[in-house]
Structure 1
Amino acid sequence: MGMNYFHQLLCRSSTWERASANQIVPWALRDIDLGDNALEIGPGYGANVDTLRSRVPALTGLEIDPALAARLRTRKAGVMRIIEGDATEMPLPGTEFSSVLSFTMLHHVPTPALQDELFAEAFRVLRPGGVFAGSDGVDRLTFRLIHLGDTCVPVPPETMRARLTRVGFTDIEVRSAATYFRFRARRPE
């Protein structure tokens, strides 16, 4: 899922890593127990890896971009298991994870239908009682400008509850802030 050169520079910067580690991830995961085995969908350049690894004993990343998957294997060896694959058709067994996480990547999935397939796959790989949580950007002018030439299909936060309910999630919460929204949902026991 394509990113323009400026966006690539931003996403691999130490500034972005700090913002994600100190603001986005803590806000998105406030009061959530990740359990013992988490999956991050689309870890990209790895901005969230260290923060997530400090909260969960085992962490897997599912990355669609072969170059980013290879980069993560080199940079985060021993910290995160990296699997190359598409989140709309996860090459993973069902009910493997206690939590599935996604941070600022849903808008890079090229259609709402594929986003819904990602939600269904997140549900499938979660254990009963497991949590699906994360965040994404709110559609606004600066968000669109950063994504010029990118694959950018913003997820309207007001649609998340219905979309997650359709694939079977319960206990759904969606909260918007100025530039991001967070979501959390549970696979029923």
Structure 2
Amino acid sequence: MTDRLDTQIPYWDAAAATKTFTHPLHLPWLEGISRQAAILDYGCGYGRTMDELQQHGFRDLTGADISPAMIERAQHLHPAMHFTTLDTPPSLPSQDADFDVVLLFAVLTCVPGDEAQRRLIAELYRVLKPGGVLYVSDLLLQDDEGNRGRYDRYATVNGGQGDVSYGVFQTGDGAVCRHHSREWLTALLADFEGIGTRTVTVSTMNGNESTGIQIMARKPALT
């Protein structure tokens, strides 16, 4: 996979004004988190999840996204919140151990390459405090004929250009996305301690109902 496919900034800039994101916050998972916790929403889009967090009393919120147009929309909708555009993703302008919680909602699906996903998770591990929490919400491999067909089509057309993991596909409007096996997500988060996993049904950005997964994991505390 190329860096271009693992960012796709022109696509997200063009989509910024029209897309709606729907992955839900599971509030019981947040009950034990201080309302003063420093929270990063990586891939914040237009700030939807940050707004919901604020409504539930969280105040130390930072949003980061690769798309300048998404950040512009977020700042327009939520002028009192703090947002930053990432110039060299996944690198964050943050010190080590800056955050108590990191949210990663529907971001891995937008990063099709294995190595790019590993770099992203490593960066989030870096900025989390020991004992801090990573909350992932993403999409699983779908088992219907339509999705299996587009996984196969993408692999057939693009497999000669490098490794293409099963589950990568192209949407009708041109984005290259990825659905994940549970085994891959477990391996990707191997440096974290699992807290909870739940299966959810979500509407994708293009309005298709899909099976998703939410994972809560903890960076090991210092011993």
TM-score, length-normalised on structure 1?
0.79
Tell me: CA distance 1:110–1:41, structure 2 relative to 1, closer, same or farther (3 Å): same
Query: Aligned to 1:161, what secondary structure does the other structure show?
Result: helix
Deviation track 1:145-182 (CA, whole Å, cap 9, x = no partner) reads: 893320212232322222211xx212354433451101
Alpha-carbon spacing, 1:9–1:158, altered in 2? closer, same or farther (3 Å): farther
Distance 1:98 1:75, change over 3 A: same
| Alignment partner, residue 220 of structure 2 | 188
User: Cα offset for 1:7?
Assistant: 6.7
2:138 aligns to what? Answer: 136
CA distance in 1, matches of 2:85, 2:15: 21
Match of 2:102 in 1: 100
| 5+ long unaligned stretches in structure 1 | none
The one-letter code sitting in structure 2 at the alignment partner of 1:120 is A
Letter in 2 for 1:25: L
Give the match for residue 176 of structure 1.
199
Query: Does the Cα contact within 8 Å between 2:170 and 2:176 map onto a contact in 1?
Result: no
User: Which protein is bigger by CA-based radius of gyration?
Assistant: 2
Would the alpha carbon gap of residues 93 and 139 (structure 1) be closer, same or farther in structure 2, given more than 3 Å must change? same
Equivalent residues of 2:16, 2:73 under 8 A apart: no
1:153 to 178, 189, 198: 178
Superposed displacement of residue 52, structure 1: 1.8
8 Å Cα contact 1:38-1:60 kept in structure 2: yes
CA spacing shift, 1:120–1:58, aligned 2, 3 Å? same
What SS does structure 1 have at the residue aligned with 2:96? Answer: coil
What amino acid sits opposite 1:184 in the alignment? M
- Among 22, 28, 31, the alignment partner of 1:30 is 28
The aligned counterpart of 2:84 is 83
**What does the per-residue CA deviation read over 1:116-150, in whole Å, with 9 as the maximum and x for residues that have no partner?**
11111111101111100121122334696893320
Structure 2: state its 5+ residue gaps: 1-6, 151-168, 202-210
Corresponding residue pairs, total: 176
Question: Which of 19, 35, 57 is equivalent to 1:11?
Answer: 19
| Inter-CA distance 73–5: structure 2 relative to 1 (3 Å threshold) | closer
Identity of aligned residues (%): 28
Q: What CA deviation, in whole Å up to 9, does each residue of 1:91-111 have, x standing for no partner?
A: 211111110001112111131
* Aligned partner letter, 1:182: Q
Distance 1:128 1:173 in 2: 18
CA RMSD, 1 decimal: 2.8
Cα pair 1:25 1:134 within 8 Å, conserved: no
**2-structure distance, mates of 1:182, 1:134:** 5
